Structure 1
Amino acid sequence: MYTYKTKGVCSREIKFEIEDNKVTKLMFVGGCDGNLTGLSRLVEGLDVNDAINKLKGIDCGGRGTSCPDQLSKALESYIEASS
């Protein structure tokens, strides 16, 4: 399981696995449980690159990032680490 430490959001970290270039077993630690559980269910099964494209740049309350944006960064970090 890959773990990413978030920055600038309520959640503290994101954990996930990638199988056949698809996001699986996605969970957020901390943050808004209902919203992040919903986000996890929507993203699980998506192609990694599709998920990045859909989530990158989403802002929360003028923070310059959000939990979805942090997930896109986590997925990009995973791609870089596995190259």
Structure 2
Amino acid sequence: MKTVYQTEGTCCRQIELEVDGDVVKSVRFLGGCHGNLQGIARLVEGMNVADVVSRLSGIRCGMKPTSCPDQLSLALRQAVSRS
């Protein structure tokens, strides 16, 4: 299932992702720190959604209450709840 998630509170504006059952198939960040986010996307592809969420949830960026990885965890939760 393909999902587009509009982020809040981060440099990245949007996350496009595809989940097949409970496995992350692909992730694409729009905006943000391109190299770092490209690395995160490649690392999580093929991983179990619950594992990604548990590892990335709650990560903060400086003084911000969220981060791009945290927003990815929220996007994945939303994608799984819709399927």
With structure 1 as the length reference, what TM-score do the two structures score?
0.94
TM-score (norm 2): 0.94
Q: Tell me which stretches of 4 or more aligned residues in structure 1 moved more than 6 Å.
A: none
Paired AA for residue 72 in structure 2: L
Name stretches of at least 5 consecutive residues in structure 2 with no aligned partner. Answer: none
Shift of 1:19: 1.5
Contact kept, 8 Å, 2:3 with 2:79, in 1: the verdict is yes
* Equivalent residue number for residue 81 of structure 2: 80
1:20 Cα offset (Å):
3.5
**Which whole-Å deviations, capped at 9, do the CAs of 1:13-46 have from their partners, x for residues lacking one?**
0011112411012100011000000000111111
Percent of aligned pairs with the same amino acid: 48
Aligned equivalents of 1:63 and 1:81: distance in 2? 28
Q: 1:4 maps to what in 2?
A: 5
Coordinate RMSD, CA, aligned: 0.8
Between Structure 1 and Structure 2, how many residues are aligned?
82
Q: Which structure 1 residue ranges, 5 or more long, are not aligned? A: none
Q: CA deviation at 1:50?
A: 0.5
